[in-house]
Amino acid sequence: MYAFDDEWGPERVFEVYDAKHKVHGVVVIDNTARGPGKGGMRLVPDISTQEVFGLARAMTWKNALADIPFGGAKAGIKADPKKINKEEVLRSFARLLRPVIDAGYYCAGPDMNTAQTEMAWFADELNNRQACTGKPFSMGGLPHELGSTGFGVAQSAKVAMEFTKKPMAGATVAIEGYGNVGTFAHKFLEEMGASVVAISDSKGTAYLPSGMKYKEAMKVKSEKGSVTLYPKAQTMPAPALFGLNVDILIPGARPNVITDANVSDVKAKLVVEAANIPMTPAVEKKLAHKGILVVPDFVANAGGVISSYVEYIGGTEGEMFEMVERKIVNNTRIALERSDGKDVRAAAVSIAQERVRDAMQYRK
Please report, for the chain, the start and end positions of each structural domain, with discontinuous segments joined by +.
12-60+72-139, 148-353
% of the chain at pLDDT higher than 70: 99
Beta strand pairing status for 12-18 and 23-31? antiparallel
Residue 82, judged by CB atoms within 10 A of its CB (0-12, 13-18, 19+), counts as: exposed
Task: Say yes or no to pLDDT of 107 above 60.
Answer: yes
Calculate the alpha carbon distances from 308 to 36, 141, 143, 317, 327 in Å.
12, 9, 8, 11, 13
Please report the pLDDT score of residue 145 as a whole number.
77
69-97 tens-digit pLDDT: 999 999 999 999 999 999 999 999 999 99
Catalytic one of 38, 62, 74, 286: 74
Please report which confidence band the pLDDT of residue 2 belongs to, taking 50, 70 and 90 as the band edges.
Answer: low
CATH number for region 148-353: 3.40.50.720
Determine which helix (DSSP H) or strand (DSSP E) holds 198, and give its type and residue range: strand 195-201
Beta strand pairing status for 172-176 and 106-107? unpaired
Q: Does the fold of domain 148-353 match that of domain 12-60+72-139?
A: yes
Task: Say yes or no to pLDDT of 363 above 50.
Answer: yes
Q: Is 74 a known active-site residue?
A: yes
Please report which confidence band the pLDDT of residue 23 belongs to, taking 50, 70 and 90 as the band edges.
Answer: confident
Please report the pLDDT score of residue 307 as a whole number.
96
The residues near 49 (Cβ < 8 Å, ≥ 6 apart) are 2, 13, 15, 26, 28
Task: Say yes or no to pLDDT of 1 above 50.
Answer: no
Please report the pLDDT score of residue 20 as a whole number.
87
CATH of the domain spanning 12-60+72-139, picked from 3.40.50.1820, 3.10.20.30, 3.30.450.20, 3.40.50.10860: 3.40.50.10860
Please report the pLDDT score of residue 125 as a whole number.
98
Mean pLDDT of the chain: 95
Please report the pLDDT score of residue 4 as a whole number.
65
pLDDT-wise least confident of 19-23, 162-166, 225-229 = 19-23
Cα gap 243→223, rounded to integer Å: 28
- Residue 163's CB is within 10 A of a number of other CB atoms, namely 19
With beta carbons less than 8 A apart as the criterion, state whether 262 and 238 touch: no
User: By three-state DSSP, how is residue 197 classified?
Assistant: strand
Whether omega for the bond prior to residue 10 falls within 30 degrees of 0, making it cis, is yes
226-278 tens-digit pLDDT: 999 999 999 999 999 999 999 999 999 988 999 999 999 999 999 999 998 99
**DSSP class of residue 291?**
T
